[in-house]
């Protein structure tokens, strides 16, 4: 039994429900004689991966859906072994090089070289190149990105790269200039509502318009999240009601409670407690930038108006350091400590003025 988000994922460009002009453009690219390197970018849940898989199917046919998971081992210059999981068909291979940490450069160079030098098993294919799909390109180190730039030039005759990321701001200009950028905007609330109604009809369910609208707004225009919320509401209660409560994810509730603890008390003991809660979120695979964003949103709502600008400035400073460093807990904790210091000073000054 699969989740709705996987069960009703479109597998061809003709079946896409929104951004139809983009689908038509991608279809022309797939049938052109000079298929370029592509870079898909846009917010989470906007449909980047779905469109990439539809493009691969348009290029090679249904054979791209026959996938196998493999463990590949790469050897670093210091003779250290790095294992990475890949998902591959006869025509493409998908990998997330950032899983290798500081050794992502080795993964990129060796993987693309191996793929480019191998031949497709299906000799009847009209395309003479294989596709390497690299995910989370914006999380690659600068060394890996420069290596990617050199590699994509060297093997362009037998290999095409499809990159995808949430933002191109962390991708070096040399890579951006060598790829055709495909921006996939987030779907509107109306489009999300229409897709929720379509999925519910396929499941034999009746979804009230008001509940669909509230789910779309709660999802933050993230289609994947909207479908997961809708399925969770189905498990929670059916028939649906217009005023049905939408459950928040456990980690979101936990993050709100953490922000509340920060506001309620500022002390070394409280900072140690918050550090443990940040570790708990990180060990449950919540990305550090999502934690930072959620903390800032909650802290700003609990702050006085005069503090909001300073909190936003601090958040920008530590978020930048978060992206450049390796130990994310240091920068998250440093932001919390700085906020506690500023907030406590604000409270003390307010009490002094009161008396």
pTM of the model: 0.85
DSSP code of 31?
T
Which DSSP symbol is given to 155? T
Does this chain's domain 4-183 share its CATH topology with 250-349?
no
| pLDDT, greater one: 93 or 355 | 93
Mean pLDDT of the residues in the chain: 88
pLDDT confidence of residue 351: 65
- DSSP assignment letter at 188: P
Pairwise CA distance, residues 36 & 59, whole Å = 12
Task: Assess whether pLDDT exceeds 50 at residue 88.
Answer: yes
Domain boundaries along the sequence of the chain: 4-183, 189-236, 250-349
- Quick: pLDDT tens for 183-204: 999 999 999 999 999 999 999 9
pLDDT of residue 1: 61
Question: What is the per-residue pLDDT for 244?
Answer: 86
Q: What percent of the chain has pLDDT over 90?
A: 48
Counting Cβ atoms within 10 Å, is residue 153 exposed (0-12), middle (13-18) or buried (19+)? exposed
Contact 23, 13 (CB under 8 A): yes
The H or E element spanning position 68 is strand 68-75
Tell the CATH topology of 250-349: Zinc Finger, Delta Prime; domain 3 (1.20.272)
pLDDT tens digit string along 227-261?
999 998 998 888 888 888 888 888 899 999 999 99
Nearest to 290 by CA among 246, 234, 249: 249
**Which whole number is the average pLDDT over 79-99?**
89
Question: What's the average model confidence in pLDDT over 38-62?
Answer: 92
The answer to whether residue 120 scores a pLDDT higher than 80 is no
What pLDDT shows up at residue 152? 83
Alpha-carbon span 337 to 340, nearest angstrom: 5
**pLDDT per position as a tens digit, 301-354:** 888 778 888 999 999 999 888 877 778 899 999 999 999 999 988 888 776 665
CA distance 10 to 53: 9
CATH 3.40.50.300 fits 4-183, yes or no: yes
Q: Long-range contact list for 116-125, CB < 8 A, 24+ apart? A: 116/155, 116/158, 116/159, 117/158, 120/90, 120/91, 121/90, 122/60, 122/63, 122/90, 122/91, 125/60, 125/91
């Amino acid at each position: 039994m699969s989740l709705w988000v996987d069960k009703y994922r479109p597998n061809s460009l003709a079946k896409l429900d929104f951004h139809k002009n983009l689908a038509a453009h991608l279809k022309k690219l797939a049938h052109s004689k000079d298929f370029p390197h592509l870079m898909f970018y846009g917010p989470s849940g906007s449909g980047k991966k779905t469109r990439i898989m539809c493009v691969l199917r348009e290029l090679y046919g249904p054979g791209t859906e026959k996938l196998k998971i493999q463990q590949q081992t790469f050897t670093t210059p210091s003779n250290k072994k790095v294992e990475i999981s890949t998902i591959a068909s006869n025509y493409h291979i998908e990998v997330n090089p950032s899983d290798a940490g500081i050794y992502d450069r080795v993964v990129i160079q060796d993987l693309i070289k191996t793929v480019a030098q191998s031949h497709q098993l299906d000799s009847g294919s009209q395309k003479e190149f294989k596709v390497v799909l690299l995910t989370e390109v914006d999380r690659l180190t600068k060394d890996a990105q420069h290596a990617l730039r050199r590699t994509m030039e060297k093997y362009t005759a037998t290999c095409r790269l499809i990159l995808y990321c949430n933002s191109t701001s962390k991708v070096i200009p040399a890579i951006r200039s060598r790829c055709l950028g495909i921006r996939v905007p987030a779907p509107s609330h109306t489009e999300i509502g229409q897709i929720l109604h379509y999925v519910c009809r396929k499941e034999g369910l009746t979804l009230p318009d008001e509940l669909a609208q509230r789910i779309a707004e709660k999802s933050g225009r993230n289609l994947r999240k909207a479908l997961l919320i809708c399925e969770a509401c189905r498990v929670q209660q059916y028939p649906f009601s217009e005023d049905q409560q939408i459950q928040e994810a456990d980690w979101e509730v936990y993050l709100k409670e953490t922000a509340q603890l920060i506001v309620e008390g500022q002390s070394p003991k409280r900072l140690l407690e918050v550090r443990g809660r940040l570790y708990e979120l990180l060990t449950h695979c919540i990305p550090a930038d999502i934690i930072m964003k959620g903390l800032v949103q909650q802290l700003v709502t609990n702050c006085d108006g005069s503090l909001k600008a300073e909190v936003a400035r601090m958040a920008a400073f530590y978020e930048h350091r978060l992206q450049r460093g390796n130990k994310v807990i240091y920068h998250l904790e440093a932001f919390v400590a700085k906020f506690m210091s500023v907030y406590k000073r604000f409270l003390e000054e307010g009490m002094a003025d009161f008396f």
